[in-house]
């Protein structure tokens, strides 16, 4: 099977979505992966050393190589600050979608981030092999309104679906959101259709 190959760079007026680089380690640690508030309700343990973040970035390179795990960072073009990180786990016909948004920023940065996410989601759902994008949010989290603004539909509540290590919880409930597109009707070859009509 051909590996999933999304664009390495996606650009909006305000933000640059790009692959993480080793030189991003300190900024990623400070803005997101080592920040208590940002990581509190995520199923990934908070990084305690910048070396953890360096190892994470090296792992992302392997994910890009085999198409199994894709990460982008969102870079503010005006300031160079990293505002968020996106994770994709492709498994056609669906993709699992996750976002880490830095708590260290104002409303303008969040609006710009939503616009960039919308651009990526529109690209994803238009791919021939993708018919569904899944996203899960903690029931006590703050992402629900953003998911709806991005076009996702709440499909249900998943009980004891994920752990929240940064809150010391072995299991926690999640809401399942999805964005889907219809599967096109199966096309029948004209010769096969003629044979079906004329075969007794």
* 3-state DSSP percent of the chain in helix, strand and coil, to 5: 35, 30, 35
* Pick from 19, 39, 43: nearest CA to 30: 39
Six token digits for residue 184:
């096109």
Total domains in the chain come to: 1
**What does the angle CA 83 – CA 57 – CA 138 come to, to the nearest 5 degrees?**
55
Per-residue pLDDT reduced to its tens digit, 82-124? 989 999 999 999 999 999 888 876 544 667 778 888 889 999 9
Per-residue pLDDT reduced to its tens digit, 132-147? 999 998 888 777 878 8
d(CA 46, CA 168): 12
pTM above 0.85, yes or no: no
What residues of the chain score a pLDDT lower than 70?
Answer: 1-3, 105-110, 186-200
Strands 70-76 and 82-91: antiparallel
Residue 4 lies in a domain: no
Residue 110 lies in a domain: yes
Domain with 35, as residue range(s), is 9-198
pLDDT at 192: 58
Question: CA 31, 34, 38, 42 torsion: positive or negative?
Answer: positive
pLDDT at 140: 81
Residue 79 lies in a domain: yes
Q: What is the separation, in whole angstroms, between the first and last Cα of the chain?
A: 40
**Is residue 93 reached through a cis peptide bond, with omega within 30 degrees of 0 on the bond before it?**
yes
Is residue 64 helix, strand or coil?
helix
Six token digits for residue 13:
């007026």
Residue 155 lies in a domain: yes
Residue 2 lies in a domain: no
Six token digits for residue 120:
């990526």
Residue 3 lies in a domain: no
pLDDT at 67: 87
Residue 41 lies in a domain: yes
pLDDT at 29: 96
Q: What is the CATH number of the domain that holds 170?
A: 3.40.630.30
Q: With beta carbons less than 8 A apart as the criterion, state whether 175 and 157 touch.
A: yes
d(CA 40, CA 27): 18
Residue 192 lies in a domain: yes
């Amino acid at each position: 099977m051909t590996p999933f190959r999304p664009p390495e760079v996606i650009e909006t007026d305000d933000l640059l979505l790009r692959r993480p680089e080793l030189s991003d380690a300190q900024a990623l640690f400070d803005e997101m992966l080592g920040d208590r508030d940002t990581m509190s309700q995520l199923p990934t343990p908070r990084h305690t050393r910048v070396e953890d973040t360096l190892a994470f970035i090296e792992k992302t390179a392997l994910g890009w190589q085999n198409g199994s795990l894709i990460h982008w960072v969102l870079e503010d073009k005006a300031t160079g600050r990293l505002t968020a990180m996106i994770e994709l786990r492709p498994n056609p016909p669906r993709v699992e979608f996750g976002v880490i948004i830095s708590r260290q920023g104002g409303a303008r940065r969040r609006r710009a981030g939503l616009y960039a996410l919308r651009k990526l989601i529109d690209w994803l759902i238009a791919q021939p092999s993708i018919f569904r994008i899944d996203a899960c949010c903690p029931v006590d989290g703050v992402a629900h309104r953003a998911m709806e603004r991005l076009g996702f539909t709440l499909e249900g509540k998943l009980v004891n679906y994920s752990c929240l290590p940064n809150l010391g919880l072995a299991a926690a409930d999640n809401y399942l959101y999805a964005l889907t597109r219809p599967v096109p009707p199966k096309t029948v070859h004209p010769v096969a259709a003629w044979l079906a009509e004329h075969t007794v």
